[in-house]
Amino acid sequence: MVESCSAINCTKRRKKGVKLKFHRIPKDPNFRQAWLQALGRMNFHPTERKVVCENHFTEDDYEINSHGNRVLKKGAVPSIFNISYQTMLTEIRTVEPGIEITVPIIKHEITLAEKKERMLKNLYRIVHSINTDEEFEALEGVATSMELTLNAIQEGYAS
């Protein structure tokens, strides 16, 4: 049976000749629970053969062992995911009287790129609605304030 990554939206599979590491979901209950929470999959009860590929770990999650091999550190948890939505909850729906099904409720999380695109569209609309010099100056003041705030945030993260 072909092993494939258990992360949402990941289509990586173990293939002969392809150098991609796959890590088994830990058996230790504490680490296992941390991995399952990170994976965020509803009603996921992995068998001992389920794996997660190396694309979901940071470089800091690895170390070089005494044989010179790159191995996953004990306690590392997958943290890199390509998710623009997550299945968060389920609800029970009645299909027919006496027949109920459980269906996922999808909570859409907007990616950073989508947030930037939305903001650019709004700014474009606002700039093009300016009719007077006073409106322009007011907007220019807001833009300066936004720039100063962003600079302060970035300096705070840099220190």
Average pLDDT over residues 56-84: 87
Of 156, 88, 82, residue with least CA distance to 112: 82
Read off the pLDDT of each residue in 60-83 and give the average, rounded to a whole number.
Answer: 88
Which residues are 103's β-sheet partners? 91
Average per-residue pLDDT for the chain: 79
Residue-by-residue DSSP string for 82-112: --SEEEEEEEEEEEETTEEEEEEEEEE---H
More confident residue, 60 or 121: 60
Higher pLDDT, 42 or 133: 133
Q: Which amino acid is at 27?
A: K
Domain boundaries, the chain: 1-83, 112-158
- Answer yes or no: is pLDDT of 88 > 50: no
Measured CA to CA, the distance from residue 70 to residue 132 in angstroms comes to 62
Mean pLDDT computed over 126-141: 83
- Token pair 């909850």 is at which residue? 89
Residue 130 dihedral angles phi and psi, to the nearest 5°:
-70, 130
Predicted structure pTM score: 0.52
Q: How far is CA 28 from the centre of its chain?
A: 24
